[in-house]
Structure 1
Amino acid sequence: MEFCPFPPRLGHSPNIGLGLQVVSSTAGTTIGTSPYSESLKRRRKGAASALNRPSVQTYVPLLDVETRDFIEELYIDGKAGTAAVDPMPMIQRLSLSLALSLNWGVRMSNRGELFEEITHVEEEVSRFRSTTGNYQDYVPLLRLNPFNFHSAKAREMRHRRDVYLTALNRGLEQRMKDGTYKPCIQANVMLDEEARLNAEELTSISLTMLSGGLDTLTTLVAWFIGLLVHKPEIQEKAIQEIRAFFGDNEPLCDSEDDQKCPYMVALVRESLRYFTVLRLALPRATVRDVVHNGITIPKGSTLFLNAWASNMDGNVWSDPEAFRPERWLEQPDAPLFTYGMGYRMCAGSLLANRELYLIYMRMINSFKIVKHDDFESDPVKGNADPTSLVALPKRYRAKFVPRNETALRKALDSTRQVESEKL
Structure 2
Amino acid sequence: MSLPLILIAISLTYQLYRRLRFKLPPGPRPWPVVGNLYDVKPVRARCYAEWAQKYGPVISVWFGSTLNVIVSNTDLAREVLKEHDKQLADRHRSRSAAKFSRDGKDLIWADYGPHYVKVRKVCTLELFSRKRLEALRPIREDEVSAMVESIFLDSTNPERKDRSVQARKYLVALTFNNITRLAFGKRFMNYEGIMNEQGKEFKAIMANGLKLGASLSVAEHIPWLRWMFPSEEEAFTKHGARRDRLTQAIMEEHILARQKSGGAKQHFVDALLTLQDKYDLSDDTIIGLLWDMITAGMDTIAISIEWAMAELVQNPRVQKKAQEELDRVIGFERVMSEIDFSNLPYLQSVVKEALRLHPPTPLMLPHRANANVKIGGYDIPKGTTVLVNVWAVGRDPAVWKDPEDFRPERFLEEDVNMKGHDFRLLPFGAGRRVCPGAQLGINLVTSMLGHLLHHFCWTPAEGVKAEEIDMLENPGLAAYMRTPLQVIATPRLPSHLYKRVASDI
Same fold by TM-score, threshold 0.5 exceeded?
yes
Give, as a single letter, the amino acid of the residue that structure 1 aligns with 2:117.
K
Secondary structure of the 2:459 match is: strand
Q: 1:396 to 1:100 in 2, by over 3 A?
A: same
Answer yes or no: is 1:154 the counterpart of 2:244.
no
CA distance in 2, matches of 1:95, 1:88: 10
Partners of 1:220 and 1:94 lie apart in 2 by 13
Q: Percent identity?
A: 21
SS at match of 1:197: coil
Q: Which amino acid aligns with 1:355?
A: L
Q: Is the 8 A contact 2:367 2:385 kept in 1?
A: yes
Count of matched residue pairs: 409
Q: 1:164 to 1:202 in 2, by over 3 A?
A: same
Match of 1:177 in 2: 259
Distance 1:137 1:390 in 2: 19
Partner of 1:70: 147
1:383 maps to 2:450: no
User: Aligned partners of 1:201 and 1:166: how far apart in 2?
Assistant: 12
Q: Does 1:302 align with 2:302?
A: no
- What one-letter code is carried by the residue in structure 1 that aligns with 2:461? H
Which of 315, 327, 330 pairs up with 2:410?
327
Q: CA deviation at 1:359?
A: 0.7
2:250 corresponds to 1:168: yes
Q: Match for residue 356 of structure 2?
A: 273
CA contact (8 A) 1:9 1:288 kept: yes
**C-alpha displacement of 1:312:** 1.3
Q: Is the 8 A contact 2:132 2:266 kept in 1?
A: no
Question: What SS does the corresponding residue of 2:328 show, helix, strand or coil?
Answer: coil
Q: 1:24 to 1:189 in 2, by over 3 A?
A: closer
What is the Cα-based RMSD across aligned positions, in Å? 2.7
Closer, same or farther in 2 for the Cα pair 1:215/1:85, shift >3 Å? same
TM-score normalized by structure 2? 0.74
Find the aligned partners of 1:360 and 1:175 in 2 and give their Cα distance.
35
Q: CA deviation digits over 1:155-190, x for unaligned, max 9?
A: 343233223212222222222223364312333344
Code of the aligned partner of 1:88: R
Deviations 1:324-364 (A, max 9, x none): 11111112135311111210011111011111111111111
Residue among 465, 480, 485 paired with 1:392: 480
Rate the CA distance shift 1:257–1:135 in 2: closer, same or farther, 3 A.
farther
The answer to whether the 8 A contact 1:92-1:119 is kept is no
Match of 1:351 in 2: 440
Confirm or deny: 8 A CA contact 1:280 1:305 kept in the other structure. Answer: yes
SS in 1 for 2:457: strand
The runs of at least 4 aligned residues of structure 1 exceeding 6 Å deviation read 375-380
1:119 & 1:33 partners in 2: Cα distance?
A: 22
- The aligned runs of 1:201-240 (5 Å cut-off) are 201-240=285-324
Distance of 1:375 and 1:139 partners within structure 2? 46
Q: Distance in 1 between matches of 2:200 and 2:216?
A: 24
Contact 2:155-2:489 within 8 A present in 1 as well: yes
Determine the structure 2 residue equivalent to 1:286: 369
- Indicate how the Cα distance of structure 1 residues 358 and 231 shifts in structure 2: closer, same or farther if over 3 A, else same: same
- C-alpha distance in 2, partners of 1:163/1:245? 48
- Worse-matched range after superposition: 337-346 or 83-92: 83-92
1:369/1:207 Cα in 2 relative to 1: closer, same or farther (>3 Å)? same
Within a 5 Å distance, the mapping from 1:4-83 to structure 2 comes to: 4-6=79-81, 7-15=85-93, 17-25=94-102, 30-49=106-125, 50-79=127-156, 83=163
Which SS does the other structure have where 2:298 is aligned? helix
Match of 2:454 in 1: 365
In structure 2, how many angstroms separate the alpha carbons of the residues matched to 1:137 and 1:97?
A: 33
The structure whose Rg is larger is: 2
1:119 aligns with 2:119: no
Q: Give secondary structure in 2 for the equivalent of 1:167.
A: helix
Query: How far off is 1:229 after superposition?
Result: 2.6
Shift of 1:23: 4.1
User: SS state of the match for residue 5, structure 1?
Assistant: helix
2:175 aligned partner: 95
Partner Cα distance (1:248, 1:122) in 2: 39
Ranges in structure 2 where 5+ consecutive residues have no aligned partner: 1-72, 417-421
In structure 2, the partner of 1:86 is 166
Of 57-66 and 195-204, deviating more is 195-204
SS at match of 1:400: strand
| Separation in structure 2 between the aligned mates of residue 135 and residue 379 of structure 1, nearest angstrom | 35
Q: Which residue of 1 aligns with 2:52?
A: none
Counterpart contact for 1:269–1:328, Cα < 8 Å: yes
Write the letter of the residue equivalent to 1:288: A
CA contact (8 A) 2:152 2:498 kept: no
Cα deviation code 1:282-305 (max 9, x no counterpart): 211122222445544222221111
Residue 203 and residue 19 in structure 1: after superposition, are their counterparts in 2 closer, same or farther (change >3 A)? closer
CA distance in 2, matches of 1:173, 1:8: 38
Three-state SS of the structure 1 residue aligned to 2:208 is helix
Find the residue that maps to 1:8 and give its secondary structure. Answer: coil
Displacement, 1:53? Answer: 2.9
Structure 1, unaligned stretches of length 5 or more?
none
Whichever residue aligns with residue 217 of structure 1, its letter is I
CA separation in 2, counterparts of 1:166 and 1:124? 19
Secondary structure of 1:126's counterpart equals: helix
Aligned to 2:44: none
